[in-house]
Amino acid sequence: MQPNSMAAGEPASLYDAHQTHLEACRRQHRSRSTLYCYRLYIGGFVRFLTEQRGIDSPTLEHLTPDLVGKYQDHVRANSMGGRGGAVAECRTVQLLKTFSRWLWRRSFFAIDPLARVEAPRLAKLHRQPFSQSDCKLLLEAAMMGPDPFLERALLLLGLDTGARIGELCATDLDDLDLAAGTILFRTTKNGRPRRVFFRVAGQPDGGPCVVALDQWLGVRLKRVNPGVQALFVTRHGERLSTEQSRRIYRALGEFAGIRAHPHRSRHTHATEFLAELPGAELYLRHRLGHLDREVLADYISISDKSACEVADVASVSQKWAL
């Protein structure tokens, strides 16, 4: 598909188009991880054309299904990522299609050249939750690690709320109400804040998660840098990042002999929640942030009382005496 003639100042080469797209994404405040993926895969396509196909100056005319297919095969054959390169292959095609559609919407093409290209299917994985023994081994590893109070609080809060690791790391101290046993997640995947109860009613101390957070807050007070509002901070007093959190999980898992990553805590929370409340998918979706607010309101109204009651059965740390 031949690209339309472009006005003065618009990118003529594939590389220039790639840079313009990145700049547009920055203006949209896309995340650093998203920008990294575009640089990795779309920039990789430009390098592939230059280094592997011998095209000195790739233009928009080289954004074709045939060349994208050859790049897809190249990525699959050379990727060191998950599932033998299948994940990278799928991601490659998805991002190039997004890039092509962006160019078409801005009249660089009369017709989207990759509109009919289909991304390869990935076999659905059946995620494995942590077992009770897994969690105890991880917590034992945390207590022997360099930052035991932080790691224990992070692990238990993830297990008892089912929150994504990015949501936990983005939480500020003011979002936590330890007396009520609630936490407000403002930065969520769907952009809609949600409040989650995790205090165990009937327990004077509120349950293991509340105790762990109370201990962590005492440590946090001594290390946090002025102006830092994050609930979880590093030993240098800065906000704990999602990548640092993932490294914590990996390190604890290696020590305990378990394959550990933050999302397994989310799977564990969901599994144990439905084991205690079969059929309560709407409550679970509310806790996990998987249901639109408008749809949820059509079916159920979650009051503070009912949410507290759900928190009792949702506490993995209390159920497993962690």
Considering only CA atoms, which of 256, 233, 207 is closest in space to residue 147? 233
Domain assignment present for residue 115? The answer is: no
pLDDT digits (tens, 9 = 90+) for 260-305: 999 999 999 988 888 888 777 778 888 888 755 554 444 444 444 4
With contact defined as beta carbons under 8 Å apart, do 212 and 153 qualify?
A: yes
Q: Please tell me the predicted confidence (pLDDT) of residue 309.
A: 60
Domain assignment present for residue 126? The answer is: no
- 80 with 155, same domain: the answer is no
Determine if the pTM surpasses 0.75.
no
- 98 with 159, same domain: the answer is no
- 70 with 147, same domain: the answer is no
- 100 with 136, same domain: the answer is no
**What CATH number is associated with residue 157?**
1.10.443.10
- 144 with 280, same domain: the answer is yes
Give the chain's end-to-end CA distance (angstroms, integer).
Answer: 61
The pair phi, psi for residue 233, each rounded to 5°, is -130, 155
Q: Please tell me the predicted confidence (pLDDT) of residue 264.
A: 92
- 183 with 97, same domain: the answer is no
- 278 with 169, same domain: the answer is yes
Query: H helices of the chain, where?
Result: 14-27, 32-51, 65-78, 86-105, 132-143, 148-161, 165-170, 208-223, 242-256, 262-276, 281-288, 293-299, 304-314, 316-319
Looking at every residue in the chain, the average pLDDT score rounds to: 86
| Residue ranges making up the domain that contains 23 | 14-105
- 210 with 262, same domain: the answer is yes
Domain assignment present for residue 121? The answer is: no
Domain assignment present for residue 116? The answer is: no
- 139 with 258, same domain: the answer is yes
Average pLDDT over residues 49-74: 92
Higher local confidence (pLDDT), 217 or 124? 217
The domain total for the chain is 2
Average pLDDT over residues 136-146: 94
Dihedral sign for Cα atoms in the order 13, 18, 23, 24: positive
- 162 with 203, same domain: the answer is yes
